Amino acid sequence: MNLKEQMYILTVAECKSITRAAEKLHVSQPALSSFVRSVEEALGVKLFERSSKGLMPTYAGELYLRAARRMFFLKSEFDENLSGLKNDRRGRLRIGMQMRRSPYIIPEFYKEFGEKYPEVEISFAEGVMEKLEKMLHEDELDLVLCDKIRELPGFTCIKITEEFLLLAVSPNHALAGSGKWLPVYGRNWIDLRRFGDETFILQGPWQSQRIFSDWLLRSMKITPSRIIEIQNIETSTRMSALGIGVSFVKDTYARHFSFAPEPCYFLVGETPFTIEFVAIHKEERYMPSFVGDAIDIIRKGM
């Protein structure tokens, strides 16, 4: 933002002399005198008149000086904001995530990130993946946090964590005490095929957890004879705790649930079945360094 004209006129007004202003600006007196004249001709008004006190601004000159000072104030404000952007201390971060995740991510993230980057504007969008992907494509979001179902051409995928898909069963179930303790995972494992005749409480076909549940069931060659579809994962887990059927739940969700009775959770799959939780953004989009800190804060809280 170049304000050379305004700087020259303000300096003449401050010095009340073309000669002294020229010395201060390190230009020749004739050149500055010609410059002021050309500005006055362009505006069609005189900016200065001679008096016993030197060059004094006319009424039009006062209006010009007032506007010029305001322009320098705005330039200073702009330069400060631009410096903050260049140093990645200012900006905005628009994050999308599935609604189920938001209570476990947003509060702690907002507090920690907001304290570290108070001048970065944060906003969140919660919804189903179809909506979030559309917003990401249309540059309405910078990042989307989600389960990795597939590769998205033109997008970068950053792994945040990997979590287990657990089987939830009633503590009164005949197999509740039949799991095998796996010290490396810190959980019990059970052969999912032992539940082949059970009622499975699953999410709707459009939900990511249902997609993973179906993958797992197919890999174990299990075709449930009866399925109850429940969209809310907390509800399906609670139903399992009460013995209505068995269900699947991610371990990050299970850690936040509090039921009485508490369901029994098992690792399942030939090897414990896991889901990648990732952050995705457009490949060509510039990502300030604070985005890396944001991902680290989310990773730490998972």
User: For 253-294, what is each residue's pLDDT tens digit?
Assistant: 998 898 899 999 999 999 999 999 999 998 877 778 888 889
* Domains detected in the chain: 4-86 (1.10.10.10), 91-161+277-301 (3.40.190.10), 162-275 (3.40.190.10)
- Cα gap 161→298, rounded to integer Å: 9
Q: Under 8 Å CB-to-CB from 16, ≥6 apart: which residues? A: 53, 54, 55, 56
Q: What's the whole-number mean pLDDT along residues 69-93?
A: 71
Q: What's the whole-number mean pLDDT along residues 184-203?
A: 95
- Cα gap 157→154, rounded to integer Å: 10
**Whether 169 contacts 263, CB under 8 Å:** yes
Dihedrals phi, psi of 226, to nearest 5 degrees: -145, 130
* pLDDT higher than threshold 70 for residue 97: yes
* pLDDT higher than threshold 70 for residue 242: yes
The first and second tokens of residue 94, run together, are 């628009």
Dihedrals phi, psi of 282, to nearest 5 degrees: -65, 140
Q: In this prediction, what percent of the chain has a pLDDT beyond 70?
A: 96
Q: What's the whole-number mean pLDDT along residues 44-52?
A: 91
The pLDDT value recorded for residue 184 is 92
The pLDDT value recorded for residue 292 is 86
The pLDDT value recorded for residue 87 is 57
> What residue has token string 């809310």?
232
78 to each of 9, 61, 81, 219, 281, how far by Cα in Å? 21, 25, 5, 58, 28
Q: Is 226 helix (H, G, I), strand (E, B) or coil?
A: strand
Dihedrals phi, psi of 266, to nearest 5 degrees: -130, 140
* pLDDT higher than threshold 60 for residue 86: no
The pLDDT value recorded for residue 3 is 85
> What residue has token string 């287990």?
164
CA end-to-end span of the chain: 45
**Whether 100 contacts 132, CB under 8 Å:** no
